[in-house]
Amino acid sequence: MAKCHFAIIPAAGRSERMQGPHKLLLPWHNESIIQRVLQTWMDSNVAQVLVVIRADDAPLSAHVDELKGRFTWNRLKILRPQTAPPAMKESVCCGLSDLQSSVAPNDDDRWLLAPADVPSLSTDVIDHVINVSNTTDQIVAAMYGDHQSHPVSFPWRLADDVKELPAESGINSLLGTHVVEHVRLPHDLYPGDIDTPGEYESALRAFRRE
């Protein structure tokens, strides 16, 4: 049976380290950061993309609604939990619960995770991780040189493990307690996330040099 791959994109953070602007709405060439990220996922071989946005984040919510309508992103589902997720783990749990109730994936299916602030992540890398995931029942993570990063593909059977993690433990703890297969990639493809104005400017400069 062919595996289905679902992407969960947590976008419920408050961008506090950006000191003002909403980082996901910042320009990225002729797009916004969130547009570039979502377009990358929509161009990949995932069956569905779930983006988790705070219910009170009106600017981001309206922007993503507009993008979904403009580009007819039928595989994009926008989740707006009424209780704001305090961290990435809670956003992931929101996505997993929605998938369980709406799709009921089987144990062979997969869920992929990457943050919403990695506009340099490429569709080719996502699909490479998906292709490797089709050959294993273990966690699959991208490895850029010696740096493990996103995206990460998890077997559906680990969905319950996420919900049972202690309050102080994040999703990364699963990578320390389960076998992880790595997709080896050049270090220059590493998709660093954007948390500060300096990281944003640095990422933009690197993008313009490509």
pLDDT of the chain along its 210 residues, tens only?
Answer: 689 999 999 999 987 778 778 999 999 999 999 999 999 999 999 999 999 999 999 999 999 999 999 999 999 999 999 999 999 999 999 999 999 999 999 999 999 999 999 999 999 999 999 999 999 999 999 999 999 999 999 999 999 999 999 989 999 999 999 999 999 999 999 999 999 999 999 999 888 776
- Is residue 208 exposed (0-12), middle (13-18) or buried (19+ Cβ within 10 Å)? exposed
State both tokens at 178.
Answer: 């389960």
50 neighbors 5 (Cβ within 8 angstroms): no
CB 33 within 8 A of CB 119: yes
- The b/e string for 66-82 (b: 16+ C-beta within 10 A; e otherwise) is ebbeeeebebbbbbbbe
- Which of 123, 109, 187 is closest to 151 using CA atoms? 123
CATH superfamily of 5-209: Spore Coat Polysaccharide Biosynthesis Protein SpsA; Chain A (3.90.550.10)
Q: What is the pLDDT of residues 75-98, one digit of tens each?
A: 999 999 999 999 999 999 999 999
CA distance 175 to 184: 16
Rounded to whole angstroms, the Cα distance separating 6 from 15 reads 25
The whole-angstrom separation of Cα 109 and Cα 154 is 9
